[in-house]
Structure 1
């Protein structure tokens, strides 16, 4: 399914006021993980209160032990500090990578802003080498803008 085809489905999910924000975010994770062939794990991490760490929110894919990630550690922790997208075509080439699964070959993390503040991020792992393009970044930035509206 193309990103263009996914946009209205995401709008519909996020617009369902009968569901909690967590339920809507879970449905977005599930949709992305099942609709984009190289999105093998899709999850949201959020700033954990006043702590300098991220806490795992809703996700779709294999369970992970990485429920808390300190700022600066791994790709997610680096994005929490840099406030910039981070595309990793080959996780083996990263010296500050936290391995979630031996199958993960690539990762993309896009920060989620609310009122100009980085409050979290969407994290996607892929079992495919170098699958992410500029289109993924643009699409995931759009997803985060929509998710921020319900938070």
Structure 2
């Protein structure tokens, strides 16, 4: 897998003339399809003035976690910490919201607009310990591109 190629294709998606929602959905679909250990890819955004995240576009099995309170689970913790969170084995996390028995690891990267954390990309994997620095860099790149859409 070539991360530079993934970034280039992501650029093509972001440069398309489709709507913001269509671009976000295309990114989810593309990453899930191209990265074998990305089993669920989705975007959560701050829900107005509420201290919670709301699920937006995603690719993978439907989830009951469409609203996540700040501080709850990996996504909720990132909403508070404003930092990347890589969990190579979810069974080792006390504050974890299970999205299904197949999920073994998760990576969440925040999206910033004008210095404010307005959302995040969330990746679930059915593999333990799949994520590398390259994944983190790719997803940071994606999040930076998303910030220009908002």
On whether the aligned pair clears a TM of 0.5, the verdict is yes
Instruction: Give the unaligned 5+ runs of structure 1.
Output: none
- Cα deviation per residue 1:50-98 (whole Å; 9 max; x = unaligned)? 0000000100000000000000000000000000000001101101000
- Report the TM-score, using the length of structure 1 for normalisation: 0.98
What's the Cα RMSD here? 0.6
The answer to whether 1:146 aligns with 2:130 is no
1:35 corresponding residue in structure 2: 34
Q: Distance in 2 between matches of 1:62 and 1:3?
A: 25
TM-score norm. by structure 2 comes to 0.98
Which residue of structure 1 aligns with residue 98 of structure 2? 99
The whole-number CA distance in structure 1 between the counterparts of 2:105 and 2:113 is 27
TM superposition outliers: structure 1 runs of 4+ over 3 Å: none
Output the CA distance in 2 between the equivalents of 1:89 and 1:8. Answer: 27
What residue is the counterpart of 1:128 in the other structure? 127
Match of 2:7 in 1: 7
